[in-house]
Amino acid sequence: MVQSITPFQEQIKTPLIKQKITVLQINLGRKCNLACHHCHVEASPKRTEELSSEICQQLIKLIEQFPQIETVDITGGAPEMNYGFKPIVEAARKLNKEVIVRSNLTIFFEKQFTDLPNYFAKHHLRVVASMPCYLEDNVNQQRGSGVYQKSIQAIQKLNKLGYGKEPNLVLYLVYNPQVPKSEKFSLAPNQIQLEQDYKKYLLEHFGIVFNHLFTIINLPIGRTKNYLKNQHLYYPYLKFLETNYNFNTLSGLMCLNQLSIDYLGQVYDCDFNQMENIPATTVNGEILTVSKLLELNNLDIIKEIKTASYCYGCTAGSGSSCGGALV
């Protein structure tokens, strides 16, 4: 089964060429108040890895030095729990960059973080919030007991502040399927139709509104990968993703115009390569870091994007990215 999977680079025939960098995605660390079953970062309350003061200052300098950066996308762990969150937000917003925070919502109810909804609104942060289903049982199975109700309450807090209603207070929810328990694999449903289902249910039951839904495919990385391997489903799942490969998704891949930075200041083509430790390199094979980008005074020195078999997860069916379906 291992050898029957076509290498992704062979599937696409020509290399993926990096375009002009406009998005800087920063993973501030692995600390999180949750330990979700599907988490590709394998974050949890027990993790301690986070950004250092030195790397934080380098990242702020990077944001200030390169006007071509349009969006600063902040993730984790729970990004709000990790060092550097507010300094990076404020540096980026001062320069009128779009700032995305990928929040698990339940962080609002931790003692030190009850100010977050107001902070988000004050700085006009775009909130991308994990909500893997609009039904309670499905969410709690993936993310832990009680998470659904806290998520609902958190969205209601954001709605009261104008999120999902005012044009500069944007709220996205994120759907991902249950981790497969058998070879009855499935891709994410149609994003437009599922968004309508979410909006109808959440409005009728909780008075909740939001802007858009992103559907994301589970990539076989992190806890999902470990689970699939334990269930002897890893290679069958990869084969399923390959079988559903869609050439039309290639032009929309998030790795084309994005740099992914980890808490150590190392550079990757995407968040998934970061988790699988496949660093971005120069044409000479030198591993890239934030300090190297600053030294070279150039964000656009990566020629070819590094690919792997899990890239089929981003290119299967309607495709998958940090911004949802691609086609």
Q: Say if 278 falls within a structural domain.
A: yes
**Among 1-10, 147-156, 257-266, 291-300, the least confident range:** 1-10
pLDDT at 2 over 70: no
Q: Say if 321 falls within a structural domain.
A: no
Q: Say if 218 falls within a structural domain.
A: yes
pLDDT at 145 over 90: no
Q: Say if 319 falls within a structural domain.
A: no
Distance CA 128, CA 264 (A): 24
Q: Say if 3 falls within a structural domain.
A: no
Query: For the chain, what is the domain count?
Result: 1
Q: Determine the 3-state secondary structure of 73 from DSSP.
A: strand
pLDDT at 1 over 60: no
**Residue 188, domain extent:** 8-314
Q: Say if 191 falls within a structural domain.
A: yes
Q: What is the pLDDT of residue 151?
A: 96
Q: Say if 18 falls within a structural domain.
A: yes
Model confidence pLDDT, tens digit, residues 175-212: 988 888 899 999 999 999 999 999 999 999 999 999 99
pLDDT, averaged across the chain: 95
Beta bridge partners of 287: 281
Q: Say if 297 falls within a structural domain.
A: yes
Report the first-to-last Cα separation within the chain, whole angstroms.
29
**Among 6-15, 41-50, 142-151, 236-245, the least confident range:** 142-151
Model confidence pLDDT, tens digit, residues 58-77: 999 999 999 999 999 999 99
Residue type, 172: Y
Average pLDDT of 160-164?
Answer: 98
One DSSP character per residue, 167-226 reads TTS-EEEEE-PPPPSSS----PPPHHHHHHHHHHHHHHHH----SEEEE----S-HHHHH
pLDDT at 318 over 70: yes
- Where residue 41 sits, what CATH number does that domain have? 3.20.20.70
